[in-house]
Structure 1
Amino acid sequence: MRVMHAERLGGPEVLTLAEVPDPVPGPGETLVDVEAAGLNFADLKRLDGSYLPPKLPFVPGSEVVGRTADGRRVLAFAGRAFATKALAKEMVEIPEELPAGAALALLVQGMTAWHLLRTAARIAPGETVVVNAAAGGVGHLAVQLAKEFGAGRVIGTASTEEKREVVLGLGADAAVDGAADGYAERVIEANGGSQVDIVLDAVGGAVFDAAPYALAPFGRLIAYGTSGGVDPKPVDPGLLSERNIAIGGYWLGAHLNLPGSAADAPLAELIELAAAGRLRPLTGGEYELAQAGLALADLAARRTVGKVILRNR
Structure 2
Amino acid sequence: MKAIQFKEYGGPDVLERVDVETPGLKEGEVLIKVTAIGVNYADTARREGAYVVPTPLPFIPGAEVAGIVEETGEKTNRFQKGDRVVTLIGSGGYAEYVVANERTLIPIPENMEDATAVSLPLQGLTAYHLLKTMGRLEKGETVLVHASAGGVGSLAVQLAKLFGAGKVIATASSDEKLEMALELGADHAINYTKANWRDDVMNATDGEGVDIALEMAGGDIFHETVKCMRPFGRVVVYGVASGNPAQMYPSGLMNRNLSVIGFFLPQIMKKPVLFEKSLQELLKLVNTGDLKLTIGGIYDLEEAAQVHQMLQGRKTKGKLVLKP
Class of the TM-score when normalised by the shorter of the 2 chains = over 0.9
Q: CA RMSD in A?
A: 1.7
TM-score, normalising length from structure 2? Answer: 0.90
Range that drifts further, 226-235 or 61-70: 226-235
Distance 1:106 1:71 in 2: 21
CA distance change for structure 1 residues 113 and 277 in 2, over 3 Å: closer, same or farther? same
For residue 298 of structure 1, what is the amino acid of its counterpart? Answer: M
2:179 to 148, 165, 169: 165
Deviations along 1:84-124, whole A, 9 cap, x unmatched? Answer: 11112121101132233321221011111111111111000
3-state secondary structure, aligned to 1:256: helix
Distance 2:15 2:169 in 1: 38
Correspondence for 1:124: 138
Correspondence for 1:64: 65
Distance 2:65 2:287 in 1: 18
Correspondence for 2:96: 84
Correspondence for 1:12: 12
Q: How does 1:149-188 map to 2 (within 5 A)?
A: 149-179=163-193, 181-188=195-202
2:286 corresponds to 1:274: yes
2:85 corresponds to 1:74: yes
Deviations along 1:266-285, whole A, 9 cap, x unmatched? Answer: 11110110111101121122
The percentage of aligned residue pairs carrying the same residue is: 40
Range that drifts further, 63-72 or 180-189: 180-189
In the TM superposition, residue 236 of structure 1 has moved relative to its aligned partner by: 5.4
TM-score, normalising length from structure 1? Answer: 0.93
In the TM superposition, residue 193 of structure 1 has moved relative to its aligned partner by: 4.0
Give the conservation status (yes or no) of the 8 Å contact 2:131–2:137. Answer: yes
1:247 to 260, 264, 276: 260
Distance 2:186 2:22 in 1: 45
For residue 210 of structure 1, what is the amino acid of its counterpart? Answer: E
The number of residue pairs the alignment matches comes to: 310
Distance 1:218 1:15 in 2: 44
3-state secondary structure, aligned to 2:93: coil
3-state secondary structure, aligned to 1:68: strand
CA distance change for structure 1 residues 19 and 233 in 2, over 3 Å: closer, same or farther? closer
2:159 corresponds to 1:145: yes
For residue 64 of structure 1, what is the amino acid of its counterpart? Answer: V
Distance 1:260 1:281 in 2: 24
2:205 corresponds to 1:199: no
Give the conservation status (yes or no) of the 8 Å contact 2:108–2:114. Answer: no
User: Runs of 5+ in structure 1 lacking a partner?
Assistant: none
In the TM superposition, residue 10 of structure 1 has moved relative to its aligned partner by: 2.0
